[in-house]
Structure 1
């Protein structure tokens, strides 16, 4: 067999495998597993014991919200004889940490984020595993993950945190959850209220848009090979069960609420391009202008790392940074300074 025929046969087999993969994705159960990757857990053995991950048992505790959603509450890193439950009051800040796809609250880069955040003055972290992740019961879905985030907010308020001092912090998939939670709380018909702040890192404008270019692990493309067949691509996207339309929700939040929104993204993020966060920021600005008119000034400043800081009044911020890729961008000093300013610390 000639090299040309071998190459042709290889491409035929590769194409057949890809079409088979797409056919599998049309099955709702498989689609859910691929979208959320919630079955990639490594181990759940020690999730009930945050001290086994290096946290002082006095400031970190494992708990279940509404008996089904597993979470860790980690108090600020201070010398104290109090336990975490006794270190809460209405004047302290709380980050509700909403993580991305795959794994659990104990993934290494997430652990590092908790440590950095709780080193800020008076900053608590509540990290949750959504339904189907880690020790949490159920199967993930868009509405289900938003319900889990709302349950976390309601737990925090019951425990004494004021809603003004709660920061909904979402990374990757968690950004869509954070936006969805803030939107649902602000627009629901029964007892609506506005959360203090929303911070997203490595956000995407919608599930339908990100699937066009998303690469699993930054390597394996899902729908990008179909970009030369736009009709087929649109048909396939129409079959997706997890739209996560953050763009529409951000526009609604900007037009109907006073919630502040921060969008952070790394230029070096090869899983979700920074343009997604740029479009979310711009949609917030445009929606606000339509309602309020020219009530604030948009400013753009280039930063020393080659990124950009774009502000619209004191309400909307987009920050692109060079370092960090998809996960470690959370630890960039500029983004941490933004959170520190929310905390009222200098």
Structure 2
């Protein structure tokens, strides 16, 4: 005869079984490539129906300061982009820029903003590679563009990857890297900006795109002014072990109690995004100059800041013949680290031929707001060698 369960016990059992069943269902769904792509990129989650991103004044920009335009990739996708003129340069050309036709430019090279860019002999470009979800003007992104352009000489060019916002196509690892390469080729070959005046700035997923495209160009002998990776991760399978969607829902974290199940789950992640490997190869391919900055916030609830440690470890490993000894790495790194408080530090490594790798842990900023904080803007400035002394050793406690 079956034993009757009390209402309290039944409720307690369901309180455990229901979330577990929901989690297992999500894992099963996420193993299917179609659904995995949507869960990873969240490219259909955006606010296009709420506001017109072809009217950048909505986001606090001056009239004509931002020019929306499309680029066509070699595989015939249309990639939506913004060219943001720095305010100091805008002020010098305000009448012309404010009078240009609003909305998407049919031909970006025929616009006043392109004329200003092309005619700027000191033009420096920040190529902004955003994270997953949303579109080019989602959430914190316009504010972070403002930080870079309001009082600096930097032009910012941001793009929506294929499948995001108004861009056509479906996102994929090679596709996103191709989108970034298409923009870089346009900046170099059409706008006429040499690579040493270009900084790649990636956040979250954008750090993986930046690492992939930088490695691709390094293999062709092209070296950029710098690469800044904010809230980066070593590889997608590794990162998902500690990742929480929205800072709350763990993805693969619960499986760490069962290593064999975790390995199975990692094995069905179809796109790996191996940034640590790519950065290691990038350093080894460097012939002339490299400025690589890794920035993370201690209070990042989405991607643990220790993922930046893994990126630094991989990049640093490539600067030493035979690699760094695992046992002595912590002490080796500490010699190059300045700690001003328990939850913040800066580690700087200099190596031949002219390589500077810098890792900064900042106490605040979370996963997204950090993009508008001082460490990111300063990292861009350092890439252009606009700073003073480069600290290579711990000089004080």
**CA-to-aligned-CA distance 1:132-162 (integer Å, 9 cap, x gap):** 0000000000000000000110111121211
**CA-to-aligned-CA distance 1:285-326 (integer Å, 9 cap, x gap):** 111112799xx9962111358410100125100011001010
Is the 2:228–2:379 Cα contact (8 Å) retained in structure 1? no
* 1:302-341 equivalent positions in 2, closer than 5 A: 302-303=339-340, 306-313=343-350, 315-341=356-382
1:36 equivalent to 2:62? Answer no
Is the 2:317–2:323 Cα contact (8 Å) retained in structure 1? no
1:77 equivalent to 2:87? Answer yes
Match of 2:57 in 1: 51
* 1:100-111 equivalent positions in 2, closer than 5 A: 100-111=131-142
User: Unaligned stretches of 5+ in structure 1?
Assistant: none
Is the 1:50–1:72 Cα contact (8 Å) retained in structure 2? no
Q: 1:299 aligns with which of 314, 318, 336?
A: 336
Three-state SS of the structure 2 residue aligned to 1:213 is coil
Question: How far apart in 2 are the matches of 1:203 and 1:52?
Answer: 30
For residue 226 of structure 1, report the CA deviation from its aligned partner. 1.1
Q: 2:317 aligns with which of 277, 286, 298?
A: 286
Is the 1:301–1:310 Cα contact (8 Å) retained in structure 2? yes
Question: How far apart in 2 are the matches of 1:58 and 1:117?
Answer: 17
User: Larger deviation: 278-287 or 6-15?
Assistant: 6-15
Q: 1:213 aligns with which of 242, 247, 253?
A: 242
User: Larger deviation: 74-83 or 99-108?
Assistant: 74-83
Which structure: larger Rg? 2
Match of 1:92 in 2: 123
Three-state SS of the structure 2 residue aligned to 1:20 is helix
1:174 equivalent to 2:210? Answer no
For residue 9 of structure 1, report the CA deviation from its aligned partner. 2.5
Check 1:90–1:34 CA distance in 2 against 1; reply closer, same or farther (3 A cut). Answer: farther
Question: How far apart in 2 are the matches of 1:42 and 1:305?
Answer: 39
Query: Aligned-pair RMSD on alpha carbons?
Result: 2.1
Give the TM-score normalised by the residue count of structure 2.
0.81
Match of 1:256 in 2: 285
For residue 196 of structure 1, report the CA deviation from its aligned partner. 2.2
1:265 equivalent to 2:275? Answer no
Check 1:291–1:114 CA distance in 2 against 1; reply closer, same or farther (3 A cut). Answer: farther
User: Larger deviation: 88-97 or 274-283?
Assistant: 88-97
Three-state SS of the structure 2 residue aligned to 1:288 is coil
Q: 1:184 aligns with which of 216, 219, 236?
A: 216
Q: 1:62 aligns with which of 64, 68, 77?
A: 68
User: Larger deviation: 123-132 or 66-75?
Assistant: 66-75
Question: How far apart in 2 are the matches of 1:28 and 1:37?
Answer: 13
Question: How far apart in 2 are the matches of 1:194 and 1:167?
Answer: 10
User: Larger deviation: 41-50 or 150-159?
Assistant: 41-50
Q: 1:8 aligns with which of 4, 9, 13?
A: 13
Question: How far apart in 1 are the matches of 2:34 and 2:170?
Answer: 10
For residue 344 of structure 1, report the CA deviation from its aligned partner. 4.9
For residue 180 of structure 1, report the CA deviation from its aligned partner. 0.6
For residue 56 of structure 1, report the CA deviation from its aligned partner. 1.6
Check 1:292–1:224 CA distance in 2 against 1; reply closer, same or farther (3 A cut). Answer: closer
Match of 2:144 in 1: 113
For residue 53 of structure 1, report the CA deviation from its aligned partner. 2.4
Check 1:120–1:16 CA distance in 2 against 1; reply closer, same or farther (3 A cut). Answer: same
User: Unaligned stretches of 5+ in structure 2?
Assistant: 1-5, 98-112, 325-331, 388-397
Three-state SS of the structure 2 residue aligned to 1:312 is strand
